[in-house]
Structures are given as structure tokens and as C-alpha cells.
Amino acid sequence: MASGDIARFVAALPKVELHVHLVGSASAATVLELAARHPDGPVPTTAAGLAAFYRYRDFAHFAEVYTAVSSLVRDQEDVASLVLGVARDLAAQNVRHVELTVTPYSQVLVGIPMHAVTEALDVSAREARDRYGIGIAYIFDIAAVQGAEGARATLEHALEHPPERLVGFGLGGDERRRVPHFAAIRDAFRAATAAGLHSVPHAGEMGGPEVIWQALGELRAERIGHGIGCVRDPALVAHLREARIPLEVCPTSNVRTGQVPAIEHHPFPRMLADGLVVTVNSDDPPMFGTTLTDEYLTLARVFGLGPGELAELARNAVRAAFLPAPEKAALLAEIDALVAGPW
């Protein structure tokens, strides 16, 4: 299929985004608006300055940049602007449902009360549905750098002041930074899952199989954020395949943060060949110069995927989403109808 036909197919493909961060999804225009609104912050206020700011030396540098941008989100209006911005951008790509990762303790630390964060998330999710026709669910995320206090505060927020569409509990950041606080993180996850939230930690982004095994065993992970480190352990690959644990793969992110030297070296095709449940996601799209659509197109171009393979990746995301069965069935039927069309 010609590249133009593939582009039209991907544009028409109903999609679900499972792994995208609220702050990391802020468009350059939104970040510049926030930087101008809060000129005392550490983020450049010009487009050229921001582009240079988004060139990362390694994951640790990326984490510093992410934290700097997050520090600009200081009130309810800022939170709502971010949610509506990502809803607008994803809806334009025919994304029907997003499970949006929020790190609420970051906003509490800059002075927004828990209940105010929740109110902004609720109001903007309803407005996104009305304005853009996209469904939003939320995952509350512990940032590893925030340690035990961040774990406790995130759990408190999730249990005592949850947004209406809170579905999951996550863990992000540098996998090495979670080690000293892992007992508190584990306890928070166990309380969250006991309360009915789904466990969706990052694991195996920069770490190896042992981090993924730990997420499965200690955090009772139902999906794995990234998970590319699994390919180093055949036993883990076999377990993930047999248990049908979905992996939220973010190819461009892995290149931009230095986890993979180039897209051609990404383990994505090996993961597919091994029969793993792979989903395609954008992580922090403007920060990495990508979109969810671009991720599908990049995989098609670099690894030779056709409409059938791309559609199956989209189906994987639908099946892995925390959606009611009738909504999943309707989306899967749309994908099937598209594939059956004249491509």
C-alpha cells in the first residue's frame, strides 16, 4: 500500500490512547501560554527557546524538563486547559477514548488543593465529551522522585477525592528512584487495587526484566507501561504472552529519552513476533515531537506494517482499555468495518 493510502487508513482508524501524560501532552502553544502566565517559572517563553529546552541528553534530563513544565500548572484553570488541549488534539486524530495519566501530587505541591484538582479534571472531562466527542478516564500516577510521601498523598487523593472517571493507579519516573521507597509504593498500590482501581505501573522502560517481574508480583500490574525490557528474559516473555498482559509501547519516547539508539533498533517487531499484546502510545507527544497518528505511521514505515497489522494494534488498545464491554464491542466493530473497506 502506498504511503498516502496508509496515512488515510491511519487517519480513519478509530484509536484508543492508553499511555499519555497530562503535562507531557501540553502543546507547545499551551506551554508557552503557561510560561507567559507564570514568567517566574523555569520554562522559556519563546518557541525557539522551548524547542531547545525539549532536546534531552538522557532520561534524567527529560525528567528535569518535565518537572519544570509541571511547575507551571498552578491553578484549576491551568489543569482544565491541559485536559481540554489533549482532548482536542487526540480527537483530531480520531482517538475515541484516552486513559490520561495525571500526577496529582505535583499540582498539590504547587498549591492546588486536592479537591480543586479533582473538580478541574471532572469539569474538563465532561466538557471534552461534549465539545470533542472523546471519552476521558484518568490514571493517578506516583512520580518515583516524590518518594514515600508522594505515594501516600497520591493514594489519599485517589481514595478520598477521586475524579468521577478515575480508573487506574500508576507509577512513573526513573525506575531507579523508586527503589528506596518501594515498600510505601507497594502499600499504596495494594490499597488502591483493594479499592477497585486498576494497577498500571511503568516498568521495563529503562530497567530490565526484574523491574517488570516486580511490577507483576508486588504491584499486581494489569498492564505494563512501556515494558520493552521484557525481551531480555524469555521466561518473562512467555509469562506476558500466556497471561495476555498488555504492554503500552511508546516507540518515539524510547528513542528520545535514550532507551533505544534509533527507531530501527526498537524491540517492537520482536515483541510482535513473540506474540505479546502490544499497544501503541505517544507518552508525552509534543515533548517528543510526535502524535499518536505519527506513532502508527512510523511503525508502518520502519517495520513495513500494513492495514491489517495496524488495525490489530488498534484492537489491542481497545481490548486493553478499562471500558465497558458494549463500548469496546462498538469500537472493534468500527475497526473491522474499516479493514473490510476498499483499501
Q: Which residues participate in catalysis according to the annotation?
A: 205
Q: Which three cell numbers stand for residue 7?
A: 496515512
DSSP 159: H
Handedness of CA 316, 317, 318, 319 (dihedral sign): positive
Of the chain, the end-to-end C-alpha distance in Å amounts to 8
The secondary element (H helix, E strand) that includes residue 143 is strand 135-143
- As a whole number of angstroms, the distance between CA 234 and CA 194 comes to 31
Q: How far is CA 116 from CA 18, 130, 162, 166, in A?
A: 25, 21, 11, 15
Cα distances (angstroms) measured from residue 241 to each of 5, 238, 254, 308: 32, 5, 22, 20
Place of cell 484492537: 315
